């Protein structure tokens, strides 16, 4: 059994809070994968069982409020005898800009009370998926900021991020964190992926991907009229005979030119 935990606070009051992006991510996984059962109350939280890829997975949203998240996580792992490497905790990260993410295993809690509680109950060796929400700029503003709702404009980056997490959740369940991170980077930050040399999935049998740069034809669309005129081919004119003499007179040319 693998455990994927989303952190947040229960209740409609907190539903759209920045602090609840962990809940949102787990909800999106649940929504996108039909194998999961309806949510039910268990382990001091809301749980759903299903499969991601070849793995049996328990989704968990603690109902203990953020600061006591470890109680719910601790009950679940003791019941199923789940090892730390089989646990992924998804949560909000102030020190990452919005739309950014990072995967890591172990480490400190960084001042996040949900992680502080989980580490106190099960140790620090679990895996973490950190989702950036940005920082308000002043430590005194942090509490109101994380408990404030996302703006409507945040949907432009948040919805694609949550969708990609759900679409690639099977890699999380299988412990393939590097592949998971690569997939998200390719989808959400293609320019960064290109600079780092990451290769998109698919491509031909030789491992090469199809060219995406459109082919430009001289004088084609996308060029100014001046550039089109520069690229236009000069018509073939007769160089001798009556027609050539007539054209020279019309164009004011002489035999010296």
DSSP string, 153-215: GGHHHHHHHHHHHHHTHHHHHTT-HHHHHHHHHHHH-HHHHHHHT---S---TTSPPPP-SPP
pLDDT tens digits, one per residue of 101-153: 999 999 999 889 999 999 999 999 999 999 999 999 999 999 999 999 999 99
Domain tally, the chain = 1
Is residue 188 in some structural domain? Answer: yes
Residue 46 has pLDDT above 60, yes or no: yes
- Give the residue among 62, 57, 56, 170 at the shortest CA–CA distance from 122: 62
63 part of a folded domain: yes
> Is residue 238, in this structure, part of any structural domain at all?
no
DSSP symbols for 85-122 = GGEEEEEEETTS-TT-EEEEES---TT-HHHHHHHHHH
pTM of the predicted protein model: 0.75
In a domain, 211, yes or no: no
Q: What is the mean pLDDT of the chain?
A: 84
What would the two tokens of residue 94 be? Answer: 């102030």
- Residue 177: CB atoms within 10 A of its CB come to 17
Length of the chain: 257
What range does the domain containing 40 cover? Answer: 2-196
Work out whether the CA dihedral 124, 126, 108, 155 comes out positive or negative: negative
Active site residues: 19
Residue 29 CB-half CA count within 13 A:
31
**Token pair in block for residue 132:** 């950036």
pLDDT at residue number 190 = 78
Q: What is the CATH number of the domain that holds 64?
A: 3.40.50.1470
């Amino acid at each position: 059994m693998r455990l994927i935990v989303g952190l947040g606070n229960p209740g409609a009051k907190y539903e759209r809070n920045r602090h609840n992006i962990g809940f949102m991510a787990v909800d999106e996984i649940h929504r996108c994968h039909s194998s999961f059962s309806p949510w039910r109350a268990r382990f001091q939280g809301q749980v759903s069982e299903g499969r991601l890829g070849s793995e049996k997975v328990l989704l968990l949203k603690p109902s203990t409020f953020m600061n006591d998240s470890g109680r719910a996580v601790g009950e679940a792992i003791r019941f199923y005898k789940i090892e730390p490497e089989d646990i992924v905790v998804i949560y909000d990260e102030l020190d990452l800009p919005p739309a950014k993410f990072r995967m890591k295993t172990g480490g400190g809690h960084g001042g996040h009370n949900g992680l502080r509680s989980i580490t106190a109950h099960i140790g620090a060796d679990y895996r973490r998926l950190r989702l950036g929400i940005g920082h308000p700029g002043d430590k005194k503003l942090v509490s109101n900021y994380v408990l404030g709702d996302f703006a409507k404009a945040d949907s432009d980056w948040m919805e694609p991020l949550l969708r990609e997490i759900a679409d690639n959740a099977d890699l999380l369940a299988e412990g393939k964190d590097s592949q998971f991170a690569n997939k998200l980077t390719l989808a959400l930050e293609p320019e960064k992926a290109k600079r780092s040399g990451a290769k998109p999935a698919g491509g031909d049998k030789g491992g090469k991907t199809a060219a995406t740069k459109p082919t430009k034809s001289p004088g084609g669309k996308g060029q100014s009229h001046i550039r089109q005129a520069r690229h236009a081919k000069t018509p073939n004119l007769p160089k001798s005979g009556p027609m050539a003499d007539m054209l020279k007179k019309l164009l004011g040319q002489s035999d010296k030119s």
